[in-house]
Amino acid sequence: MNEATGIAHFLAQTDFIGKSLFVILLAMSAISWFYIITKTILQIRTKRRSEAFTDFFWNATSLDAVQHEINTHGVDNPFSHLTSHALFARAHHAKVGAAKLEEAGSASDFLTRTMRRVIDEETTRLENGLTVLASIGATAPFVGLFGTVWGVYHALVAIGASGMGSLEQIAGPVGEALIMTGLGLAVAIPAVLGFNAFVRSNRVLLGRLDAFAHDLFAFLTTGQQAIGNVGSGKPASVSTLRNNEAAGN
| Neighbour-count burial for 106-133, b at 16+ CB within 10 Å, e otherwise | ebbebbbebbeebbeebeeebeebbebb
Separation between Cα atoms, residue 235 and residue 32, nearest integer Å: 35
**CB-based burial label for 4 (10 Å; 0-12, 13-18, 19+):** exposed
Q: Return the minimum-mean-pLDDT range out of 28-32, 86-90, 130-134.
A: 86-90
End-to-end CA distance of the chain: 74
**Radius of gyration of the chain measured on its C-alpha atoms:** 28
Residue 143 neighbours by CB under 8 Å, 6+ apart:
21, 24, 25, 28, 184
Residues in the chain: 249
**Please, what sign has the CA dihedral across residues 232, 238, 244, 248?**
positive
Which tens digits make up the pLDDT trace of 11-68? 666 677 878 888 899 999 999 999 999 999 999 999 999 999 999 998 888 888 888 8
Contact 77, 46 (CB under 8 A): yes
DSSP 3-state of 117: helix
Identify the pLDDT of residue 113: 87
Chain mean position to CA 31: 14
Q: Do the beta carbons of residue 28 and residue 137 sit within 8 Å?
A: no
Average pLDDT, integer, range 212-224: 82
Instruction: Label residue 142 by pLDDT band (50, 70, 90).
Output: very high
Instruction: Tell me 101's DSSP state.
Output: G
Q: Please say whether the beta carbons of 85 and 112 come within 8 A.
A: no
